[in-house]
Structure 1
Amino acid sequence: MDLTELITIDPSVRGGKPCIRGTRITVYDILEYMAGGMSDAEVLSDFPSLTAEHLRAVLVFAAQRERRLAASAPHEIAA
């Protein structure tokens, strides 16, 4: 999946936060809705300009960012 086709980072849009291309909807907004319990269908209903591919791109983007952060700053996991 080529994330640059679906997610952009533009300093003039939403303070440079990663957004769904062509919208002002941030990756973080979508992640918060999903983490809050909204289903994919509910998110797509609330944001008709989004597709299921956008939602997958948000998850891939977040996973890749988390991997980069974990690799750059090792941390302990509490047992």
Structure 2
Amino acid sequence: MSATHYTALVDTLTSKFDLPLDQATPQTSLGESAVDSLALLELSLILEEQLGFSIPEGALHTSQSLQEAAEALETLHASQPATA
């Protein structure tokens, strides 16, 4: 798991979605983080801007743990050229 992707995910969840930092563990699911389908879309858009690559709809889902979501982001990032 990339620390960069995990850190960006946790930072966004704690700052924009009010997830308490002590609840942001690798095993916490996005659903447990109070992220519903609409918030998941917003989260994806914020992460796209921060990380500089496209996150297609469905790449992140509420049943993923934060670790699994970070791994999905890492895989997506590795498969795409950076955007300007």
Shared fold (TM-score, shorter chain, > 0.5): no
Q: TM-score, normalised by structure 2?
A: 0.31
Greater relative contact order structure (CA < 8 Å, 6+ sep): 2
The answer to which structure has the higher strand fraction is: 1
Larger Rg: 1
The TM-score, its normalising length taken from structure 1, stands at: 0.32
